[in-house]
Chain A
Amino acid sequence: MTVLLWPRCKQEKHLNNVGIVVGWNHDSNTVICAKILHHKDYIFLRKIIRPDQQTGDLRILGKWIPRKEKVESWLSSDEMAEFTLTPLGPWWANELRDSNDLLIYYDPEQNYNFRLERSYQKGFSCLLKRLHAVEQLHCLQYDCQEEENDENQHQCSAEYSSALERRASPHVILQNSLLHKHLTETNRISLHYFFNNNLSKDLPSMRSHYAVYLDSFLGVLVGATILIYRKSLSKILSVAIGVQYQTLQDAIEWLESFPIGFKLNEPLTHSMGKQLHIIFYCWNNIILGLGDCLGHNNFIFWWMFTGLGSISFLFGATTFFAILVDLIQVGTLHLIFLHAFFNELYRFELYMLVSLWQVYRGKKFNPLRKRTDTMEYDSMQLLIGMLLFAFSLFLFTTILVYYVFYTLLYIVVQPIGLWLVYGFLRDFPFDGLWNRWRDPSAMGVGIYFDKEPAHATRLCVIPMSYKKLLAPFTERYLKRIFFIFLDILKGIGTKKRLNIIQSCIKD
């Protein structure tokens, strides 16, 4: 019994990850292998490249035997592989040695859907689906080290390793910098692309060369525009800074005048307002002073726009937007600082209220037992506790109003639109959409047999849905914006309730 494969792959020169799909021969309980080329989430079926292959039928390449030793695989911790593949020909080892391989097979005797394995020598790890048809295919990218004694765990993807590096890095500012992420994750410079067509050096986040073309074209357009109108832009920026300063001053005075009917504590409000006036005045002078450096009006701004235009022209629109987002973050640093300050103040106020309310009731939180126990206080402790409780209670409104105001201000000044544009240019799957529309079967997420495995005549490809195609973009950007807002709301509302909402949405 043989299985026919439909060749699909037409663009294998762009793909550098190779895997093997294994069918079966029902008569002799042996395995049949074909070759699959896949680029991250896509798979392209292809026949085995062998000089003696004429009919296009699958050939037997190995025999399925039980494994003697159980080996843990980094791909799945649920179940260890139980079987290994014994190659029957020398070309098998040659095929696998030089590529990043994933071995996929189907074993009807064990009723496994499929198993994944890093290499034939290590064995196979199992996925627990006991169906007859292969429904899903997990394609993971990894570094294939062919040393037999290598027992270290390997990271699943470049994103995972970069995420770990970011977490371990002490430079928090760099971690939050979009430009830093852009340079480390994409390593994509439009000018470099024109001189080097080797797309295999691209990291996964720059998905398609269509995105690169668009990035370059927009970069040239935006850069040219900025360079032409840089003088006007400098003037507009300085005016905008002045308007922003005046708006913030008006906001402080509005807060001091019982906003929305809230009865704020006047001395506290006035003293905070004075300090905020000073902060905004100093920051405004710093920014405008930088702009008017060396006696020239908007000197630094002029050079800043010149630099931005040049960067956009040379390195693409994504680099330009990344720098722009970071510059806006730097320009609104004082608001970020105020948001963080009022956030901590509000946290402290809530903590005081909760703790002193426990004192009011004669209770105390027991951290060992994680419960509230009765506590005996003496009279002086109660007096001081009640004084502080009264303070916390009557100052709560004032602190809440300032916290909410500066949190909303923090949300407003975030360059979310620019970030979305940057994400669109970087991660939107233009190439995938085009290929999917043109030939659905060329964009597969899985393979299946058209009938029962014992009687199947075709190995077919499950085409990828548009939703799954757009998932990386929506997951990374649109959902993330929602969760950021949810995290901010956690600070105002009760954490427990918002955690439940968040867990429901994630599920």
Chain B
Amino acid sequence: MNEYPQLWQRDPDTKIRSTGCYSNLDGLSKKFSFKPCRKSYNIIWKNSLVIGQEFVLTCFFLTRFRIELQVEQNETIENPLSQNLSLFAVSSSLFLVIWFSRGASRSTRYHKAQTRLMDMLLLAMLLRLISAVLKTLTGSYSSNTVHALAIAGMLVHWWGCDYCYANGTAVSSPFYKDEEKNSSSSLSLPVKKREPFFGGTVSLNAAFFSTTLLASRMNSNWSVCAFVSTSVTIFAFYPVRRHLLYVTSPKEAPYVVLATIILFSTASWLLLQSKLEKLIYGAVLLIVCFLAPTWKYYLQDFKSHIHGPWDIAHIRR
């Protein structure tokens, strides 16, 4: 007799052991595998919206830089309305997100205003001090190199973004655990400390790195300030509000996100100049927002989880 339970052994001719053993791997998989719950197409599609939104924001950011550069160099822009539309897109998207996530913030108005003011002053002072060095930071490198680095940075941002956080999944962090000790409701206690960023540190850093590279190619201080402020708004503040939007209004959130996608993609579409760029942009957006969810909906039938006594034990609450 073996000391350990035997899960499977190769079938020796026709003799099969009856207890504790399965004749083939199919039997093993039947015993220990199970299919996960089938998700509806609606849920899969809604979860993929944030990925598409990040792609749209990334393209909007890059095209915005190109337009700013052309304006600085006094070049003619194909569609003069695109600049105003991009501003409209940013402001209206922010308005929608803030409106639907109102009341979700855990800090008081006074604290928020104080924090925002300090951030603004700090950013202004920092940019003023380093503007002289920032202007010539990448002066000795060619534009192609800088643009390639910036695009690579934005790709890292798109890849490294925490989409679970974007879809409203709760964050397990020591920061919130300390606060929850003092209150039963996690949303009622006003937060006095600055909240960390949970939407993907590498992702945000890559976006800021690309921002710095692109800002170093601009000549006007006001352009740099506006560009950096836009980047901070889109990549730092907006994901936090989006998360709060999914937490407070889970039903309306996908539609708000869809609206922002439409606004930003329209602006980006107008800012893009060549037909090839527009074609690629549309194709990627289509794949991310429609084809990929459809394919995932079809593939989930083939997915199965295998759990057995070999798994590492996890304590469940």
Q: Which residues of A contact B (CB under 8 A)?
A: 258, 263-268, 359-362, 376-380, 382-387, 389-391, 394-395
How far, in angstroms, from A265 to B139 measured CA to CA in the complex?
A: 7
Complex CA gap A267/B174 in Å reads 45
Residues from chain A with a CB closer than 8 A to the CB of B258 are none
* Contact between A387 and B232, CB atoms less than 8 A apart: no
- Chain A at the B interface: SS class: helix
Asked if residues A382 and B204 are in contact (CB atoms below 8 Å), the reply is yes
With an 8 A cutoff between CB atoms, is B77 at the interface? Answer: no
Listed in ascending order, the chain B residues whose CB lies under 8 Å from chain A are 119, 122-123, 126, 130, 132-134, 136-141, 173-175, 194-198, 201-202, 204-205, 208-209, 211-213, 216, 232, 236-237
CB-CB under 8 A from B213, the residues of chain A are 390
Q: Give chain B's interface secondary structure class.
A: helix
Q: In the bound complex, how far is the Cα of B122 from the Cα of A208, in angstroms?
A: 72
Q: A258: which B residues are within 8 A, CB to CB? A: 140
Given contacts A361-B202, A377-B201, A378-B197, contact A390 B139 (CB under 8 A): no
Say yes or no: A263-B126 contact (C-beta < 8 A), given A360-B202, A379-B204, A383-B208.
no
**Complex contacts, B130 vs chain A, CB 8 Å:** 387, 391
Contact partner of A390 (CB less than 8 A), chosen from B136, B194, B198, B209, is: B209
What are 13 sample pairs from A and B whose C-beta atoms fall under 8 A apart?
Answer: A267-B132, A267-B133, A360-B205, A376-B174, A376-B197, A376-B201, A380-B122, A384-B126, A386-B208, A387-B134, A387-B212, A390-B137, A390-B212
Neighbouring A residues of B133 by C-beta, 8 Å: 267-268, 391
Q: How far is the CB of A422 from chain B (nearest CB, A)?
A: 46
- What residues of B have a CB within 8 angstroms of the CB of A387 in the complex? 126, 130, 134, 208, 212
Residue among A383, A386, A389, A391 with max Cβ neighbours from chain B (10 Å): A383
On whether the beta carbons of A376 and B232 are closer than 8 Å, the reply is no
Which residues from chain B contact A391 at a C-beta distance below 8 Å? 130, 133-134, 137
From residue A383, how far is it (CB to closest CB) to chain B in Å?
A: 5
| Bound-state Cα–Cα, A267 to B133, Å | 8
Contacts of B211 in A (CB 8 A): 386
Task: Taking A265-B139, A378-B196 as given, write out 7 further A-B residue pairs in contact, using a Cβ cutoff of 8 Å, ordered by the A residue number.
Answer: A258-B140, A266-B139, A267-B139, A359-B205, A380-B122, A384-B122, A391-B133
B157 to chain A, nearest CB (A): 11
CB distance from A352 to the nearest CB of B (A): 14
A394 cross-chain contacts in B, Cβ below 8 A = 137-138, 141
State whether A361 and B201 are in contact (beta carbons under 8 Å apart), knowing that A267-B133, A379-B237 are contacts in the complex: yes
Q: Which residues of A contact B212 (CB under 8 A)?
A: 386-387, 390
Tell whether, in the assembled complex, residue B196 and residue A265 are in contact, meaning their CB atoms are under 8 Å apart: no
B208–A266 CB distance below 8 A? no
Scoring B130, B212, B236 by chain A CB atoms within 10 A of each residue's CB, the highest score goes to B212
Kindly list chain A residues whose C-beta atoms are within 8 Å of the C-beta of B141: 263, 394
